[in-house]
Structure formats: C-alpha cells, structure tokens
Chain A
Amino acid sequence: MIISKQSPISISRRMLWFTGIICALVIVIGPVYLLLKYSVSDINSINTGGNPVPMWPYNPTLQAYVYLFSDSHFYQVLLNSVVISLFTIALGMILGIPASYVLGRYKLPGRKVLLLMIISVRLFPDIASVIPVVEFFIKIGMHQTYLGVILAHTLLALPYIIFIGAGAFESIPDDLEGQAIILGANRFQTFFKLLFPLAMPGLAAAAIYTFLLSWDEFIFSYFLMLGKQEIYTLTLYLNGIKYAEPQNLLAAISVCLSIPVIAFSFMVQKYMVAGISAGSVK
C-alpha cells in the first residue's frame, strides 16, 4: 500500500524522464535520419520549386549513389582516402608501438608526466599549427603530396596511439614478463611472443582510431592539398562541391564518408569511452 501512495510522484517523474529520453533521441538521431533521407531522395523531391520538402523519402531511389559510383573521380578520391589512412596507420604504428612499449612497461621516473605531456600536445590548436607545417612542407617540396598529408596525419594520431598503446602494455601483469624472462626469453622474444600478442586488442583499437582520425581529418588535408584535385580525400571532395552539386549527392557522399566511421567507432567504443571519460581522447 505504501507503493500506491508513492507512485503518483514517481510516475510523473518517470514520464518526465521518458520524455527527456525521447527528446534526446530525436535530437541525436533526427539529423542522421534526414541525412539518409536526402541521400535516397529523388532530385525532384528536393528541388520542389517552393513546395515543402517531404519529411519522408518520397519515391526513394539510389540514383545519387549510382551516379557517384559511376564517377571515376570519386573512385580516385576514395582510393586517396584509403591509401592515406592506411599509410598513416603504418607509420603511426611503427613509431607509436615501440614508444608505448617503453612508456607502458618500464617503471621510469616521470613516466606519467611524460604521457600527460604527449597527450596534451593535442590541445594545441590544429588550425594554429597548420600554417608552420604547410610552410615547412612547401620549403622541402612536400606540399600537395601524399607523403606530406600522411606525415601530418601521423603527427595528429601519434599521441593517441602512444596513449592507448601504453595503456594496453601497462595492463599486462608484471609476473608474466618475469616468468618469460626466467624461462629464458630475451627482450625481443618477450616482446614478440608475449607482450605484443597480449597488447593486440588495445593496439588494434589504436589503429582503428588512427584510421578514423585520418579518414575524418579536414584541416591539415585542406591546407596541404588545396588546389590539387588528384590527391583529394573524401572530406576535401565533399567540401569542394558543397555549392555546386544537388543536395542528394552531397548527402550520398556524406553517407559514404560516415559509414566506415560509424562502424569502426562502435567497434572501438570501449576504448573511446574510456579515453574520453579520462578527459584525454577527443
């Protein structure tokens, strides 16, 4: 009977909470829905000549995607994005894994401070560091090249790789390494047979994170590639056609750009949530 006494209050609070959840979901999912809707809309349902654009997909069609995938430039752009992000992962991992091994495994004095310093490099504004990097690359002839963009993206990704990687190495119990050493393994054998396989999930997350960063990256790509269409990445391509193309095409490119990002984001959700919660990863 006590329950029935209390329930009016808790029901009204529950309704309030439920309304809040619904509102939040609409705010969060609404734009994504509209994006998808635009990408499958018939061009006539967008250029309506003053009539309201329908809220539901009217005559849904894949014409935007068909057009996109028949355009050879789009393939080139897609390839550019893939190549640049794969090379960024490779370079980032080659540099980042050894460093995160040292920072994660050795009980060095000042290790925590060093990690904090490395991650706070990312607080420095990209838009402020881009001018010097571009000027430097112009000087050494790497402006508007794949290599320049890859180097820049690696610079952005490296602190995250080291941070996530160091965490992965640190989580391996010391006893395991001690045991391997006592069983006769030297430093390299310990690393390749024990530490590396055990740190693999974390390192994979770091690699996916690097991919996302490079795939999404706009500021450095824009300043480093502006004007050289052959090496444009997806983000640049999308930006370049924003005034010119029909909106369903813009939406279709946006969807192509987003799908791998969303898929991979949910794959590394655990690491992203942990990183963001600690206030370290953006």
Chain B
Amino acid sequence: MIILSDFKRTLSIENVKQWFFKTWPIFPAMFYLMSFLVIVLFYLIGLSLNHPCSEINFPTFASFTELFKNEYFNSALINTTLFMILGTPLELITGLFLSFLIFRSFFMRGVIRSLFLIPLALPALVTAMLLFVLFDFPGGHINHIITGGYSWFPQVFDQPINWRGSKLFSMAIALFGKVWRDMPISMLILLAGINNIDPELFDAAKTMGASFRKRAVHVIMPLMIPSISVVLLLRSVEMWKEFIFPFVLAGRYHLLGTLIDFYYNEIGNSHMAATVSIIMVICIVFSTLILMKILELIQKLIVSR
C-alpha cells in the first residue's frame, strides 16, 4: 500500500535511495531475468555474426549467406511457413467449434469444460509419443483402420502407409498433434471473449427476429473480433516456435525449430544453430506485424459494413 505520491518525481540521491529501499524485493528476480536476456542476446548475435571458418573474422554475415544457400534451411523455412499458415486458422476453427458447443450453460457444463481441457493437461511429449505409436508403420492403429482391419471402418488403402517416412504425412501428423493439444487454449480465450458480450445483445437480436445463423454472423462474430485476434496472434507465434511435435513425429523433415536441434546436436555447428534462431525470431516479429495489419484491415471492413 505504498502509493504513487510516496515517490517524489524529482531525481535526487535521497529519492533514488528511497526508491531502492522500498522496491528492493523486485530486484533479484529482475536481475535474474535481465541477465539471462543479456546472455541470450549476446550469444545469439555473437554466434550468428561469426563463422566456424577461421579465416572469416567477426562480424560477418557469412553464416547467413551460407544458410540461405542451404537446401535444408530453405525447405525448413518453407515448411514452417506452411505450418504456420495452415495451423493458425486450424487452431482458431477448433477453438471456435469447442467454445460454441459449450458457451451456453447446460447440465454438466463444468464437467464437459474440464474434460475439454484434457489435451492441455497431457504433457506435449506424451501426446507426441501417443501419435508416434498410433501412426506406427506398419502395425499402428491408424494403419489397421485404413486397411480395413476393423469391421466398423471401410478399407481405404490396400497397403499400410509409412507415415513418418513421408514428408507430407509426417508434417500433417505433427500439425494434427499441435492443434489437438492447443484446442483448449483457443477455446478458453474465445470463451472469455463470448462471456464478455452482454447477453442482452443476444436477446435483442432474437427479439428482432434474427435467425440463429444471422445472429452468429452479425452479432457474435464482430463482437468476438478482439478475442479472435488474440488467438490468431498468440497461436501464430506458437506455430513458428513449434519444436516437440515435429521433433518426435517428423524427425527426418525439419521445421526451423528442429533445424536448430539438427545443426547444434547432430552437426555441432553452434553458429548455424544461432543463425537459425535469429531468423526464427525475425520471422515471428514480421509475421506478427503483418498479421496485426491484416486484422486491423478486417476490423475496419467490418465496422464500415
């Protein structure tokens, strides 16, 4: 309960002392976070502007130029971009699906909502492992299902598919795992958004005779733009960062995250790994900025309509 006015705005040694005396408990934690931040930035920049060849001196963009010529990197960059472009809307759609199912109160709603949180409560690595087992070749559940092993599902393929051996399939499974695990997060953000809408608005729309679909499109959706934006922004960042699912499920095909692991732990080239890390951060910043611009435009469009 120490109030703003306790702190004089003027800078004098006495005041700085007083400030420190009152706020010292915050400093250990701040120091801890700040020093790691400094270490991270220092090493990232230091490593990426260097090159393992001893002839090339610091600072150099040699690591960057080499990387851009590299086939691994280019495919990882494209994969990650696609992963982000497909995954972000998928997370939104699954979140919308779940939140629309349970936004009204009904019998056992609390229990159902808790059950919907299960994917989040399961460690990501466990989910990845489970998919690893289910999509096993040739003897996993999924292969048995599609080759007609069970009476309740028609035979789709003659031969079992080597899921992890195919770039497309392994990426798709990784994406599936990621989206499955994150469903509850999107759901909760969207539910919070729905709950912030004044219920009288629904009733007003109802009394005006709007059908359910019209209500959803013209009343609920526009009011949910803020929470939808939050979902898209946060989830797109998460997509760029993704590591565990592709690491377990698509070991042979890289995203930016797994490429860092590949360079660092398999090739032992910390410069390349740091360079990829920096590029990942740059990608996140740019994609966030672009997404924000797009969302702003959409918002304007909806308001003007």
Q: Which residue of A lies closest to B136 (CB)?
A: A247
Q: Which of the residues A24, A181, A238, A279 comes within 8 Å of B189, measured between beta carbons? A: A279
CB neighbours (8 Å) of A178 from chain B are 1
Given contacts A238-B125, A247-B133, whether A131 and B120 have CB atoms under 8 Å apart is: no
Judge whether A95 is part of the interface by a CB distance below 8 angstroms.
Answer: yes
Complex CA–CA separation, A99 to B23 (angstroms): 9
Q: Which residue of B lies closest to A132 (CB)?
A: B43
Judge whether B220 is part of the interface by a CB distance below 8 angstroms.
Answer: no
Interface hits, A103-122 → B, CB 8 Å:
103, 105-109, 118, 121
Judge whether A1 is part of the interface by a CB distance below 8 angstroms.
Answer: no
Complex CA–CA separation, A190 to B198 (angstroms): 40
CB neighbours (8 Å) of B280 from chain A are 125, 127-128
Given contacts A95-B32, A277-B191, whether A125 and B121 have CB atoms under 8 Å apart is: no
Interface string of B114-134 (1 = CB under 8 A from A): 111111111111110111111
Complex CA–CA separation, A39 to B258 (angstroms): 29
Cβ A98 vs Cβ B28 within 8 A: yes
Complex CA–CA separation, A128 to B126 (angstroms): 23
Decide if the interface of chain A is mainly helix, strand, loop or mixed: helix
Distance between A241 CB and nearest chain B CB, rounded to angstroms:
10
Given contacts A262-B121, A279-B230, whether A133 and B40 have CB atoms under 8 Å apart is: yes
Complex CA–CA separation, A262 to B237 (angstroms): 26
Q: Which of the residues B112, B127, B270 comes within 8 Å of A21, measured between beta carbons? A: B112
Q: Which of the residues B44, B149, B184 comes within 8 Å of A131, measured between beta carbons? A: B44
Given contacts A24-B101, A106-B23, whether A242 and B132 have CB atoms under 8 Å apart is: yes
Given contacts A24-B98, A132-B274, A242-B248, whether A53 and B139 have CB atoms under 8 Å apart is: yes
Complex CA–CA separation, A254 to B130 (angstroms): 8
CB neighbours (8 Å) of B244 from chain A are 218-219
Interface string of B4-42 (1 = CB under 8 A from A): 100100000000000000110110111011001101111
Judge whether A13 is part of the interface by a CB distance below 8 angstroms.
Answer: yes
Judge whether B241 is part of the interface by a CB distance below 8 angstroms.
Answer: yes
Cβ B2 vs Cβ A262 within 8 A: no
Decide if the interface of chain B is mainly helix, strand, loop or mixed: helix
Given contacts A53-B144, A95-B28, whether A265 and B121 have CB atoms under 8 Å apart is: yes
Complex CA–CA separation, A126 to B112 (angstroms): 32
| Number of residues of chain B lying within 8 A (CB) of chain A | 87
Distance between A206 CB and nearest chain B CB, rounded to angstroms:
13
Interface hits, A156-201 → B, CB 8 Å:
158-159, 162, 174, 177-178, 181
Q: Which residue of B lies closest to A13 (CB)?
A: B212
Judge whether A141 is part of the interface by a CB distance below 8 angstroms.
Answer: no
Q: Which residue of B lies closest to A17 (CB)?
A: B101
Q: Which of the residues B2, B30, B37, B134 comes within 8 Å of A105, measured between beta carbons? A: B2
Stretch touching chain B among A28-36, A68-76, A142-150: A28-36
Besides A21-B101, A254-B129, 9 other A-B contacts (C-beta < 8 A): A24-B98, A55-B150, A99-B28, A106-B22, A118-B33, A127-B241, A131-B264, A251-B130, A258-B121
Which B residues are closer than 8 A to A by beta carbons? 1-4, 7, 22-23, 25-26, 28-30, 32-33, 36-37, 39-44, 47, 97-98, 101-102, 112, 114-127, 129-134, 136, 138-141, 144, 149-150, 180, 183-185, 188-189, 191-192, 212, 230, 234, 237-238, 240-241, 243-244, 248, 257, 260-261, 264-265, 270, 273-274, 277-278, 280-281, 284
Q: List 14 A-B contacts (CB under 8 A).
A: A31-B180, A34-B134, A52-B144, A99-B28, A99-B30, A108-B4, A127-B261, A131-B270, A131-B273, A218-B244, A219-B243, A219-B244, A251-B129, A278-B192
Q: Which 8 A-B pairs have the closest CB atoms?
A: A98-B25, A52-B149, A132-B43, A277-B192, A99-B29, A128-B277, A265-B121, A125-B241
Which A residues are closer than 8 A to B by beta carbons? 13, 17, 20-21, 24-25, 27-29, 31-32, 34-35, 38, 46-48, 50-53, 55, 94-96, 98-99, 101-103, 105-109, 118, 121, 123-136, 154-155, 158-159, 162, 174, 177-178, 181, 215-216, 218-219, 222-223, 226, 235, 238-239, 242, 247, 250-251, 254, 257-258, 261-262, 265-266, 269, 272-273, 276-279, 282
